[in-house]
Structure 1
Amino acid sequence: MQSQLQHNSSPTVEKASWKVWWQLTRPHTLTAAFAPVLLGTALAIENSGRIHWGMFLSMLVASLFIQAATNMFNEYYDFKRGLDNENSVGIGGAIVRHGIQPKTVLNLAFSLYGISVLLGAYISISTSWWVAAVGVVSLAAGYLYTGGPLPIAYTPFGELVSGFFMGILIILISFYIQTGTVTSTSVLVSFPSFLLVGAILLANNIRDLDGDKEFGRKTLAILLGRTGAIRLLAGMFALSYIWVIGLIFAGVVSPWLAIVALSIPSAIKATKGFIGNSNPLQMMPAMAATAKTNTIFGLLLSVGIFLSLL
């Protein structure tokens, strides 16, 4: 209680700079929303030869806002459960360091959800109301990730859920709203994104392993142990590249997509950054490299698709 009173007596919301609000979105995670939207749209252009810019921009903004809101729910509920403090690594810190009221963070998250709903309504009216149904499920998953009686983030299924909703599903929706269909190629190409978005969460859980264990979480990293989790992370990186190579040899995608190999150094840096480390602060560069790998990989896949059209 004393700690919470100290937080509430910190600098007021009015004094918080734009940097505080920007960090609250956890910008290093926003690429998990941007790259899949771009990739799904690139696949759609390859399929139909055209792009609806209104759909693309609406999907992009909605995805970014949902990801940012999910991060804010994380900030709010981790604070409420006593997991975050002034020394916590990898958080926005708006509540515990800058005195922003928890209710303000929660309301902002719901506001971003509200804007996403409006954008989703526009997309649904222009395409299909099935998109709205999928969107509602996605919003619920984002909230229940750290909200609700049993947060998904506290279970071994966090990587699976985040990889599906922020990887595969975003790509397929982005593809569908441009083409009106979903193809086997779009599903197959989306699989590495599923792995790499899940890898971002796995990297986060490796960094927070000791603290999460103290609070009774049962994340995949805790169940596997630090060494096992790092091996899984390396395996997810490796499978992502092997998958693309397999698609190329099977004739499903153009050889131009082999350009994703340029992101391998980032994946190696991420993996090595966790080996032999148990200090959360020392593992932050590895966390950043994991998110960077997802971004570069997705962008290079998109570039490869565009090059194949030349």
Structure 2
Amino acid sequence: MQPQMQTSSSPAINKSWRVWWQLTRPHTLTAAFVPVLLGTALAIHQTDIHFGLFFAMLIASLLIQAATNMFNEYYDFKRGLDNENSVGIGGAIVRDGVKPQTVMKIAFGLYGVSLLLGVYICMNSSWWLAVIGLICMAAGYFYTGGPVPIAYTPFGEIVAGFFMGMLIILISFYIQTSTITLTSILVSIPIVITVGAILLANNIRDLDGDKENGRKTLAILLGRQKAIYLLAGMFIVSYFWVFALIGMAYTSAWLAIVALSAPKAIRATKGFIGKTIPMQMMPAMKATAQTNTIFGFLLSVGLFLGYFL
């Protein structure tokens, strides 16, 4: 009897873990990992790395990103935007029956843990970071929460790029070096763009549904074709920016390694052309997120190679 009981409960346990894991929208978490790694790679050129601060910053960023995704899940459900057939969502509420209040409690719980990590970071760097950290958390909440969610406006890409790209990079750099340099700002720019590209790709995919629900995203204002052109332009500017920094001797030539991620960016752009059904655009959406991950990772590798070689 005992083996049978274990066998029957195992699928339920596995399903439960899958539900909670999908609720974090794991494909988006690299958008939090890459900036922390890049900020630390920049810092290694100036100081020895404090690994306690690195891991605290990394975990806090991942938790805030996961909580932001849960706020998104909750508020889109409350506004009637999500249903069991919606593409690109965790689906814990509409497909798996998780109570909306439970999702919110978990999200705020993740915020609580990130606050504790923030206290540790501030104790070892500067308490001014507490103010910046709270602003970041507020941006994560109001991205889909509040009376006028940022995600429903044309400014979603800019806000996401700034907070999830530049700000995380600069905080990660600052907690190691106690300063901000022009190079750290300049190197963060292409990540601002590629993080924004993830949101633009998401809005291209959801354009028709968002329009029906009264959103005013950048993709809606531009139209599908021009939004795809903008996405391609964002990728081009990101690569051009890195090579311009190399040409002006702001960074090592090793950063040219980011060119290896270009095929993924091309695939992402082509994947949207001629598509109008959200499910058909999922591979392009995935490729856009992968471009950000690979681009940022290779940028970090280039910085490490420039230091050690």
CA contact (8 A) 1:73 1:143 kept: yes
One of 234, 237, 249 as aligned partner of 1:236: 234
One of 280, 284, 287 as aligned partner of 1:289: 287
How high is the TM-score relative to the length of structure 2? 0.95
| Rounded Cα–Cα distance in structure 1 between residues aligned with 2:21 and 2:277 | 25
CA contact (8 A) 1:163 1:194 kept: yes
| Rounded Cα–Cα distance in structure 1 between residues aligned with 2:291 and 2:262 | 8
One of 188, 191, 194 as aligned partner of 2:189: 191
Give the Å deviation of 1:47: 2.1
How high is the TM-score relative to the length of structure 1? 0.95
Q: Tell me the equivalent position of 1:3.
A: none
CA contact (8 A) 1:121 1:132 kept: yes
Q: Tell me the equivalent position of 2:223.
A: 225
Cα deviation, 1:174-230, whole Å, max 9, x if unaligned, reads 000000000000000000000000000000000000000000000000000000110
CA contact (8 A) 1:16 1:98 kept: no
Cα deviation, 1:111-147, whole Å, max 9, x if unaligned, reads 0000000001110111101111100000000000000
Give the Å deviation of 1:155: 0.3
Q: Tell me the equivalent position of 1:275.
A: 273
CA contact (8 A) 1:274 1:286 kept: yes
Q: Tell me the equivalent position of 1:262.
A: 260
Q: Tell me the equivalent position of 2:149.
A: 151
Q: Which 4+ stretches in 1 moved above 2 angstroms?
A: 13-16
Identity %: 73
| Rounded Cα–Cα distance in structure 2 between residues aligned with 1:282 and 1:62 | 34
Task: Map 1:103-142 to 2 at 5 A.
Answer: 103-142=101-140
Give the Å deviation of 1:16: 5.0
Q: Tell me the equivalent position of 2:3.
A: none
Q: Tell me the equivalent position of 2:41.
A: 42
Give the Å deviation of 1:244: 0.3
CA contact (8 A) 1:267 1:289 kept: yes
SS in 1 for 2:121: helix
Give the Å deviation of 1:15: 8.9
Q: Tell me the equivalent position of 1:73.
A: 71
| Rounded Cα–Cα distance in structure 1 between residues aligned with 2:45 and 2:228 | 36
Q: Tell me the equivalent position of 2:243.
A: 245
| Rounded Cα–Cα distance in structure 2 between residues aligned with 1:134 and 1:111 | 20
Give the Å deviation of 1:46: 1.4
SS in 2 for 1:17: helix
SS in 1 for 2:45: helix
Q: How many residues align?
A: 297
Gaps of 5+ in 2: 1-11
The amino acid that maps onto 1:71 is: N
| Rounded Cα–Cα distance in structure 2 between residues aligned with 1:254 and 1:43 | 11
| Rounded Cα–Cα distance in structure 1 between residues aligned with 2:125 and 2:303 | 24
